[in-house]
Amino acid sequence: MSADYLHHLLLPKLLLGAIGTIAILSLVFRENKLYRLFEHVFLGLATGYGLATTWTQVLRPKWWDPMVGGGEWIWILAAPLGLMFYGVYTKKFAWMARLIFGLYFGLAAGTVFQGFAEEYVPQIRASFKPLIAHGAVTAAMAVNNWIFVIILICVLVYFFFAFEQNSAVIKRSASAGRVMLMIAFGAIFGSTIMIREALLIDRIRFLLIEWLQLGHIFR
């Protein structure tokens, strides 16, 4: 083993990544102390990064800079409002935390109305597809549109719990919807596994090729 190779193996960035990856993946065999150590390290790093980026990406550019650099003094009011969140830690001021949470819930609920209109209304409109082959709509497209609309209706019927599903048509539509849901869940499941496997392959590539430099074996 050459000194250069040893130096490469011990590079802090690679060494930490390699030991961390092995430690996390070791859970596949059984729970162990190395896994728990790196689980805690991961949690600490992620929390620290989240806290720092909240300041650098949100609070500094949207609150501190306009207030201090831009002279928008009214932003100082956000500080006592923000502090109200921390009322949860005392019995006396706990209700104040609910007050500010209420404001935040209200703001979040308001954005949902707008989000519904912007995101879902176009989707509802796009679901009314041409079902008859005419002009630019070919026969194959019309068949696919029929399939799309039938699946959409069947799955929606499956989720209708507002009334009892007594009618034979409703019952059959709902059971067809259930079958379609299973196919869709299978597709989502397959895609999810592929994404996770891609990450696993990336980690194995990191260990074997980037860290251990065994790329020549696979060529």
Partner 1 sequence: MRTLFHSIPHTHPLYYVALLATVAAGIGILALLQALPTRLRRPLIALVTFLGGLYYAAEFFIPTGWGVHKGVDGNFLSPYFDKVANISSVLGSFSIGLGVFSLIGMHLRIASRRRESWGFSLMLLISFVAMTIFTLLNEYAGKSVVIPSVAGHSSITNHDIYVVLFNGGLASLDSAMFALIGFFIISASYRAFRIRSVEATLLMASAIIVMLGQVTLGSWLTGGLPSHGPLAFFRFENMSEYILVHLNAPAQRAVTFGLALGVLATSLRLWLSLERGLYFDQE
Q: Scanning residues 186 to 205, which ones bind partner 1 (CB under 8 A)?
A: 186-194, 196-197, 199-200, 202-203
Name the minimum Å distance from CB 36 to partner 1. Answer: 6
The answer to whether 185 contacts partner 1 (rule: CB under 8 A) is yes
Long-range contacts of 32-38 (CB under 8 A, 24+ apart): none
The three-class DSSP label of residue 175 is: helix
Of 2, 8, 1, residue with least CA distance to 213: 8
The answer to whether 108 contacts partner 1 (rule: CB under 8 A) is yes
Task: Please check whether residue 206 is in contact with residue 21, taking contact to mean a CB–CB distance below 8 angstroms.
Answer: yes
Give the whole-angstrom CA distance, residue 168 versus residue 176.
12
The answer to whether 132 contacts partner 1 (rule: CB under 8 A) is no
**Side-chain-side CA neighbours of residue 192 (13 Å):** 6
Nearer to partner 1 (CB atom), residue 108 or residue 139: 108
How much helix, strand and coil, in percent to the nearest 5, is found in the chain?
80, 0, 15
Q: Among residues 5, 32, 90, 102, which is the contact residue for partner 1, using CB under 8 A? A: 102
Q: Give the relative orientation of helices 139-158 and 168-205 as an angle to the nearest 10 degrees.
A: 100
The span of 1-9, 14-22, 130-138, 166-174 binding partner 1 (CB under 8 A) equals 14-22
The span of 2-10, 102-110, 131-139, 162-170 binding partner 1 (CB under 8 A) equals 102-110
What is the 8-class DSSP label of residue 65? I
Q: How many residues bind partner 1 (CB under 8 A)?
A: 121
Binding mask 53-72 for partner 1 (x = CB under 8 A): xxxx-xx--xx----xxxxx
Q: Among residues 5, 32, 104, 214, which is the contact residue for partner 1, using CB under 8 A? A: 104
Binding mask 71-100 for partner 1 (x = CB under 8 A): xxxxxxxxxxxxxxxx-xx--xxxxx-xxx
